[in-house]
Amino acid sequence: MMTNAPTIFCIVQWMLSHTLAGAKWLQNTGNSHRRGATAFVAPGRTNSSRRSTGRKPPATVSSSAKEAAAEGETAEAIRGPVLLPSPPSSPTAFDSACVANPVVLPPSSTSTDKWQMYYYGNPGSWANHTKGFLPTGYVGLAESTDGIHWEKIPGTEEHGSVLAPTGREEDFDGLHLGVGDVVRVGDDGDSELHMYYLGGSFEGIPLGPPGAPPTRGLRMRIGRARSTDNGRTWERTGQVLDYDPSEGVFASWPRIVLPEGDGDDDGTPWRMLYHAFNGTRWAVFEATSSDQGETWTRGDRGMALGPDDPSGWDGAGVGTRAVVRTADGELAMVYEAVDGAGGPFGGRHRFGLARWEEAGEGKGGGAWVKDTATTGVPGGPILDGGVDPLPAWTSHVIGTPYLVATEEGGIRLYYCSKKDNDMSMSIGLVESASGGFDPSSWKAVSP
């Protein structure tokens, strides 16, 4: 949305303002230029939809500050993130330009003693040597014993990813993709992981001044893949939600809200939250499923969450978001929003808070309402990049929040950020031991 934002919000800005000098994350990805990541391009098209390399990958790859420093990063730039881009020579070189949008599963969800983080990144390009304008591209996997220190797991897809674009012009996910959410389905003894992801196609959308070439990669839809080996390999099951022109030019960044406890048994639907952009505002929409994610139906009430006061701190819209069930059973949402003062492309990105308010006795009925109790202002903000408790390396932009409730009643918030254009997008962590959402409750966590 803003010129310094390498998240979803930068896409239309990039196209309209440049076409239309490049998205900031690619225009000046700092270590990716110094380390030569922009020269590390995707190979040509293959006939395999899974694009397997046919090789057995190394077991793990370190994502340490020491390793990044050896590749040319300054100590100031690398202090703080829990996950960094890989060196171009790494077995996980698919993310050598950036890492973003962490989706974190605690051991209770992985059915192992490990934490898992799914995330997306790219080596400076999308499929078929195409220069991208987002940090999407490929999906990777990292594992951890504590959710803080992570080891990347090289995959068998392109550049060591676990899920890659097909490279085929006819596919909705042919050009680039990115993880949205991962849920475990089935009984413990016979369960599998389902990944909901956004896919961008080669379809061109006419934007910008007359005569400008159509923009590829903006038309995004939501797909699903399944894994029976705890995330090492994935089988696509197809597109599950198309974009709706009444909402915007794409449907993207899905998050899944599962029923509490045995909610599936009483008919409580699954809910999918995603967002879209219509040219003037970013907004969150919802779809529901009554068959454990096999089919999805859009809601008929319009936006699930969007901008209010056009000049407010979130007046340009609401985009990426995450939902957590707190220790007292409440559903809370932390969302990424853009300041209305700068318009949909120029505003500052901050995190806000909304809460789910039930409506009567209906199964799953209710609405998302921006919280006013925490800061006195609807939604917040509750966190701002580079402002305490977030560390200095987050001052440029923050985005793609993901929430995990801890067994002790606390909340972890994973996010992507960077200090400036001399630093690649990286993943950070703050934690609220009390489970509170006010700024004073959060503490930055570093490896």
Which residues are CB-neighbours of 346 under 8 A, at least 6 positions away? Answer: 1, 2, 3, 13
The H or E element that residue 75 is part of is: helix 75-78
pLDDT higher at 433 or 62: 433
- Between the alpha carbon of residue 91 and those of residues 43, 95, 193, 232, 238, the distances in Å are 15, 10, 24, 14, 28
The predicted pLDDT at position 211 comes to 87
pLDDT digits (tens, 9 = 90+) for 176-218: 999 999 999 987 667 899 999 999 999 998 877 888 889 999 9
pLDDT at residue 71, as a whole number: 47
Which pLDDT belongs to residue 421?
85
- Identify the weakest region by mean pLDDT among 8-22, 122-136, 298-312, 323-337: 8-22
pLDDT digits (tens, 9 = 90+) for 25-60: 333 333 332 222 221 122 222 233 333 334 444 556
CATH architecture under which domain 10-43+55-445 falls: 5 Propeller (2.115)
Q: What is the pLDDT of residue 59?
A: 59
Residues 6+ apart with CB under 8 A from 40: 88, 93, 96, 123, 124, 125, 159
Q: Where are the domains of the chain?
A: 10-43+55-445
pLDDT at 264: 57
Say if residues 66 and 72 touch (Cβ distance below 8 Å): no
pTM comes to 0.86
Q: What is the DSSP string of 408-446?
A: TS-EEEEEEEESSTTS--EEEEEEETT---SGGGEEEE-
**CB neighbours of residue 301 within 10 Å:** 9
Q: What is the pLDDT of residues 139-175, one digit of tens each?
A: 999 999 999 999 999 999 999 999 999 999 999 999 9
Which pLDDT belongs to residue 422?
82
Tell me the average pLDDT of the chain: 84
